[in-house]
């Protein structure tokens, strides 16, 4: 399974796979965004965030960025993509890079009142 997050405002996109610890670190923040917007970013579905929901998505990414500020350089994240959950090492620099890329996509969409499209397969 993989997930592609892009915007209709540009050709920018970012992909995450079901075994990427970055996705699983972000998953609880995606759930919080879903509680606010009713829109879930997951590996198995397509979701479109219109301009009215992009601020909540940015806030979720900001909360994720704040959460990593107190983390060590590496730590373990539970991957639950299949029936056998396992722990994978995650590097602070990798999740920070992922958050920066996602923020750029969402910010570009917001500034142009465009959509963020999430394709899970």
CATH number at residue 80: 3.40.1760.20
Q: How far, in Å, CA of 76 to CA of 71, rounded? A: 11
The string of pLDDT tens digits covering residues 61-89 is 999 999 999 999 999 999 887 777 889 99
| pTM of the model as a whole | 0.92
Q: What are 43-52's pLDDT values in tens digits?
A: 889 999 999 9
pLDDT tens, 105-115? 999 999 999 99
Count of the separate structural domains present in the chain = 1
Question: Which residue range is the domain that position 91 belongs to?
Answer: 2-120
Find tokens 């929901």 and name the residue: 53
At residue 98, the pLDDT reads 96
Q: Name the DSSP letter for residue 84.
A: S
């Amino acid at each position: 399974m993989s997930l592609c997050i892009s915007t209709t405002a540009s050709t920018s996109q970012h992909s995450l796979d079901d075994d990427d610890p970055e996705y699983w670190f972000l998953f609880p923040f995606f759930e919080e965004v879903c509680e606010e917007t009713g829109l879930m970013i997951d590996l198995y579905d397509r979701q479109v965030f219109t301009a009215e929901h992009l601020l909540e998505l940015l806030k979720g990414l900001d909360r994720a960025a704040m959460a990593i500020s107190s983390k060590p350089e590496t730590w373990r994240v539970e991957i639950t993509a299949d029936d056998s959950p396992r722990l994978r090492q995650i590097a602070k620099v990798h999740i920070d890079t992922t958050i920066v890329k996602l923020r750029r996509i969402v910010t570009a969409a917001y500034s142009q009142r465009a959509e963020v499209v999430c394709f899970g397969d």
